[in-house]
Amino acid sequence: MTTTLHERSGPRGSAEENRLPEPPGFLSAYPGYRSTALLDRLRATEYSYLDAGGHVYLDYSGAGLPAQAQVAAHAERIRGRCFGNPHSEHPASAASTGLVERARLAVLAHFNAPPEEYAAIFTPNATGACRLVGEAYPFSRRTRLVLTWDNLLGLPSLALRVSVGLASHLSDVERFLARSGC
């Protein structure tokens, strides 16, 4: 969901210009608020395009916004180089494959997961990741696929194909756990 600053507070400008003054006594009641100044600076430097467009971005469940440093680094990476499909075999493919493998190793290192024991699999989103798990799991009529997200499109049809129960809302999960004796 995107709300514009213009809709909220009149003419566009920087976040600082559009910020309403804190109510009297706010900073004394919430002294920790001062420590968020770093976030204000980060928004002003790395996400200034939000203010320039008059946006407040709240939809981080689907996609996070790139920092300007990320955009610049990506532009620099692809400038003058050719990256192809990492599933093919040619020089442009090898360049992409090398970057994908470096990213896999970085993810594994972040989680202290040895590559000899673990694999990092990139998926387009949470639904894609859960679909991979769901399609690979050895379901039977006595098993259940229990999810707590309500935006996992395509998984109800998977549950029907493998003849298992699917719970995607908290009330469904609670009923499932009660029936299972958990």
pLDDT in tens, 55-85: 988 877 667 899 999 999 999 999 989 999 9
Position 154 confidence tier, pLDDT thresholds 50, 70, 90: low
pLDDT confidence of residue 180? 59
Instruction: Find the domain containing 87 and state its range.
Output: 81-110
Tell me whether residue 19 is in a domain.
Answer: yes
Number of domains in the chain: 3
Q: Is the pLDDT of residue 102 over 90?
A: yes
pLDDT confidence of residue 7? 38
Region 90-108: what's the mean pLDDT?
94
Please give the single-letter amino acid code of residue 96: S
Tell me whether residue 176 is in a domain.
Answer: yes
pLDDT confidence of residue 58? 83
Please state at what angle helix 37-46 crosses helix 68-78, rounded to 10 degrees: 30
* Residue 100 and residue 144 in one domain: no
Tell me whether residue 38 is in a domain.
Answer: yes
Average predicted confidence (pLDDT) for the chain: 77
* Residue 100 and residue 133 in one domain: no
CA atoms within 13 A on the CB side of 157: 4
Percent pLDDT > 70 in the chain is 66
Tell me whether residue 150 is in a domain.
Answer: yes
CA atoms within 13 A on the CB side of 168: 14
Region 47-54: what's the mean pLDDT?
93
Which of 123, 87, 129 lies closest to 104 in space, CA to CA? 123
Region 103-113: what's the mean pLDDT?
96
pLDDT confidence of residue 134? 76
What is the value of pTM for the model shown? 0.56
Using alpha carbons only, give the angle 3, 6, 33 rounded to the nearest 5 degrees.
Answer: 70
CB 95 within 8 A of CB 81: yes
Q: Is the pLDDT of residue 11 over 90?
A: no
SS3 4: strand
Position 140 confidence tier, pLDDT thresholds 50, 70, 90: confident
Would you give the distance in Å from CA 121 to the centre of its chain?
15
Position 5 confidence tier, pLDDT thresholds 50, 70, 90: very low
Tell me whether residue 69 is in a domain.
Answer: no
Region 30-51: what's the mean pLDDT?
90
Region 139-163: what's the mean pLDDT?
60
